[in-house]
Chains A and B, each alone.
Chain A
């Protein structure tokens, strides 16, 4: 009965590869987010989608491409992975106008 789930939990890959992280929420929310947490635990918004429409894109390199096939899913595809992409990526969801965001367990990406 996980509210916000992400797969995979861990992802280890070589520089230059392309990888995807999936996120699903079963809360009926209409807004979903991707956050990046670096090695110093600093959390920063990357994207948000409201009803499958991109709302926020915080100067993220265009190697990162979010895709929202429906309101319950927001996937993150990363092309040509770089060492600096190593981080924990958190998905979150909320209902627009409601303040509480629900976070997934995170995906730890390690680029070698």
Chain B
């Protein structure tokens, strides 16, 4: 079955530090990969996605590249801000089942940025 393994948290960084949150996956088909973000007290929001190997998803200064050879989708940001403090979820969706695009999530990584 499909699974997602992501870096255990919590992660605490100073403002303007470089961020990497590791994510690796196991899938039987050709999954799409996602990063979702959950700000305190809110639901999840899609941060970025990539649908095929070597695709790079990017949004709000965050980037992640779909690496099929290492089955990874690591999230990076060059200079984090206090407002980036949230829980980040790596997820995959198996595209082989139309109308059945359930998301399989990693365990989430709590990120705290201190001024």
- The answer to whether B32 touches A99, judged by C-beta atoms less than 8 angstroms apart, is yes
- The answer to whether A97 touches B108, judged by C-beta atoms less than 8 angstroms apart, is no
> Which of A43, A94, A104, A105 interacts with B101 by CB under 8 Å?
A94
Chain B stretch 11-51: residues in CB contact (< 8 A) with chain A: 32, 34, 36, 38, 42-46, 49, 51
Contacts of B34 in A (CB 8 A): 99
Q: In whole angstroms, how far apart are the Cα atoms of A101 and B104 in the complex?
A: 12
Residue B93, interface by CB 8 Å: yes
Residue A83, interface by CB 8 Å: no
> Which of A41, A58, A97, A100 interacts with B87 by CB under 8 Å?
A41
Q: In whole angstroms, how far apart are the Cα atoms of A56 and B95 in the complex?
A: 15
- The answer to whether A99 touches B101, judged by C-beta atoms less than 8 angstroms apart, is yes
Q: Which of the segments A44-52, A61-69, A73-81 contacts the partner chain?
A: A44-52
Count of A interface residues, CB-CB < 8 Å: 27
Count of B interface residues, CB-CB < 8 Å: 26
- The answer to whether A100 touches B46, judged by C-beta atoms less than 8 angstroms apart, is yes
Contacts of B51 in A (CB 8 A): 99
> Which of A35, A44, A99, A106 interacts with B93 by CB under 8 Å?
A99
Interface of B toward A, CB cutoff 8 Å? 32, 34, 36, 38, 42-46, 49, 51, 87, 89, 93, 95, 98-105, 107-108, 110
A-B contact pairs, 22 of them (CB 8 A): A31-B99, A35-B103, A40-B107, A41-B87, A41-B107, A41-B108, A42-B105, A42-B107, A42-B108, A48-B102, A50-B99, A55-B99, A90-B43, A90-B44, A92-B44, A96-B98, A96-B99, A99-B34, A99-B51, A100-B46, A103-B43, A103-B45
Interface of A toward B, CB cutoff 8 Å? 4, 31, 33, 35, 40-45, 48, 50, 55-56, 58, 90, 92, 94, 96-97, 99-101, 103-106
